[in-house]
Amino acid sequence: MGYPEPMTTRDAAAALDADDPLAPFRDLFDLRGGVYLAGNSLGPPPRAVRAAVERLVGETWPGELVGGWTQDGWIDLPAVLGDRIGRLVGASEGQTVVADSTSVNLFKVLAAALALRPERTEVVTEAGNFPTDVYIAGGLARQTGRHRLTVVDDGGDVASAIGPDTAVVALSHVGFRDGRLLDLPGVTAAAHAAGALAVWDLSHSAGVVPVALDGAGVDFAVGCTYKYLNGGPGAPAFLYVARRHQGDAAQPLSGWMGHARPFALELGYDPAPGIGRMLTGTPPVVALAVLEAGLDVALRGDIEAVRRKSLALSELLIALVEERCAGLGVSLVSPRQPERRGSQVCFRHAHAYPVVRALIERGVVGDFREPDVLRFGLAPLLLRYVDVWDAAEALHDVLATGAWDRPELKVRRRVT
Ligand SMILES: *Cc1c(COP(=O)(O)O)cnc(C)c1O
């Protein structure tokens, strides 16, 4: 794979945009200026979302009222949108549903996975995993009272930590703090070789990194839809259960929507035969209408082309920052090898928080991650090469002028 050479002019970046087959996607989003490098935290709205919401609240909901559940297919949305996400993560139909939050879904799939390995007592994860994932695994272990959580050092060798007691290996495909891409097929195979199950969180890879859940033999997966899938703030998440486990997967939040016959309103719980048993309560139809508009955009992009552009953008950002900001205290945190990165680039700086705030003042929106990380998400469907150029220039300006060194920029906001 070839990447653009480090370049010396903004025009050279503009020339890459002129050649970019994904460039037309940018127009599908409601972007209001600036350079948005936080699409990995909250994706921007697709333009089509307005009409989708208006149709629901202005026509279908008032027009059909309770009949909308069947006439407009609201009740089927978790499965229908789940299958569409499945196409983005290499899952054939009937294995993916949309519901709840990533945290809640992780709880459900981890519990189901542990129950499939009743003789085993350990969950293995890694310190680079997203904190909610570690909290959920720890909380579940406390609740069962018979599991322990083993947290491998950040960047440590997970495969060698898997032993005969390991029931489940639970990891994030891309590290939120450093953008590191884990070896999903390799770790999954190592887990299976030791008799354990593999649970993956695809929050930072769905839609930007090719994933082959079926191909890699993954057992369970979860992921977020408000990042690269542009599903809207707090959009419902997804979960995947490999077909071979569906008949035996028992999840603890056994609500009526996971029942084989929810509207029979029987007193006894009889789980739905397939992936439907992973559902709990009533689908959030308004949120799902918003998410659907996001998925429409994501599904129009060829994932291989998206990955190529993602890596080209990240190579360019690294090259420009290292060239323009040399001697200004920034160092690369993300892996230098493109194949080992997700779709974000992170740098360390001693004053990362006010640097991020000063960049935001200049219209370059990235985010800060504890303790000292500047994080730049590269959403290939909305970013241009000139945006990367402008971001590197702004970073140079903020660092070279000391524009970050103002007391008001150092006061932490509640969401960073
Ligand atoms: C964003 C993200 C989440 C979010 O979980 P919520 O339950 O939606 O708050 C979970 N895991 C990972 C790895 C994430 O990146």
DSSP state letters, 60-86? IHHHHGGGHHHHT-GGGHHHHHHHHHH
Question: Among candidates 90, 334, 112, which has minimal Cα distance to 223?
Answer: 90
Q: How confident is the model at residue 289, as a pLDDT? A: 98
Residue to mutate, 41, 224, 346, 369, ligand 1, most ligand atoms under 8 Å from C-beta: 224
In ligand 1, the atom with minimum distance to the C-alpha of 176 is 15
Q: How confident is the model at residue 4, as a pLDDT? A: 54
Residue to mutate, 40, 41, 103, 220, ligand 1, most ligand atoms under 8 Å from C-beta: 103
Q: 407 CA distance to ligand 1 centroid (A)?
A: 31
Q: How confident is the model at residue 1, as a pLDDT? A: 44
Strands 237-241 and 96-99 turn out to be: antiparallel
The answer to whether 394 touches 358, Cβ cutoff 8 Å, is: no
Q: What is the pTM of this model?
A: 0.97
In this structure, the residue with its CA closest to atom 4 of ligand 1 is 102
The answer to whether 242 touches 218, Cβ cutoff 8 Å, is: yes
In this structure, the residue with its CA closest to atom 6 of ligand 1 is 102
Per-residue pLDDT in tens (0 to 9) along the chain, 416 residues: 455 555 679 999 999 999 999 999 999 999 999 999 999 999 999 999 999 999 999 999 999 999 999 999 999 999 999 999 999 999 999 999 999 999 999 999 999 999 999 999 999 999 999 999 999 999 999 999 999 999 999 989 999 999 999 999 999 999 999 999 999 999 999 999 999 999 999 999 999 999 999 999 999 999 999 999 999 999 999 999 999 999 999 999 999 999 999 999 999 999 999 999 999 999 999 999 999 999 999 999 999 999 999 999 999 999 999 999 999 999 999 999 999 999 999 999 999 999 999 999 999 999 999 999 999 999 999 999 999 999 999 999 999 999 999 999 999 888 87
Question: Among candidates 97, 93, 92, 67, which has minimal Cα distance to 82?
Answer: 97
In ligand 1, the atom with minimum distance to the C-alpha of 174 is 13
Q: 107 CA distance to ligand 1 centroid (A)?
A: 12
Token pair of 230, please? 């542009």
Q: 369 CA distance to ligand 1 centroid (A)?
A: 14
Question: What is the rounded radius of gyration, in angstroms, for the C-alpha atoms of the chain?
Answer: 22
The answer to whether 116 touches 249, Cβ cutoff 8 Å, is: yes
Distance of CA 323 to the CA centre of its chain: 30
The answer to whether 124 touches 200, Cβ cutoff 8 Å, is: no
User: pLDDT by residue (tens digit) across 363-394?
Assistant: 999 999 999 999 999 999 999 999 999 999 99
Tell me the catalytic residues: 130, 201, 226-227, 375
**What DSSP string runs through 349-403?**
-TTHHHHHHHHHHTTEE-EEETTTEEEEE--TTT--HHHHHHHHHHHHHHHHHTT
Q: 272 CA distance to ligand 1 centroid (A)?
A: 27
The answer to whether 92 touches 214, Cβ cutoff 8 Å, is: yes
Residue to mutate, 102, 129, 220, ligand 1, most ligand atoms under 8 Å from C-beta: 102
Residues with Cβ < 8 Å from 340, sequence gap 6 or more? 180, 181
CA–CA distance, 206 with 227 (Å, rounded to integer): 9
Torsion of CA 61, 66, 70, 72, to 10 degrees: -10
Q: 176 CA distance to ligand 1 centroid (A)?
A: 9
Q: How confident is the model at residue 7, as a pLDDT? A: 64
Torsion of CA 244, 250, 252, 258, to 10 degrees: 80
In this structure, the residue with its CA closest to atom 15 of ligand 1 is 203
Q: 222 CA distance to ligand 1 centroid (A)?
A: 9
Ligand 1, CB within 6 Å, residue ranges: 101-103, 130, 132-133, 172, 176, 201, 203-204, 224, 237
Torsion of CA 62, 63, 66, 70, to 10 degrees: -130
In the three-class reduction of DSSP (H, G, I as helix; E, B as strand; rest coil), residue 340 is classed as helix
Question: Among candidates 362, 363, 359, 343, which has minimal Cα distance to 351?
Answer: 359
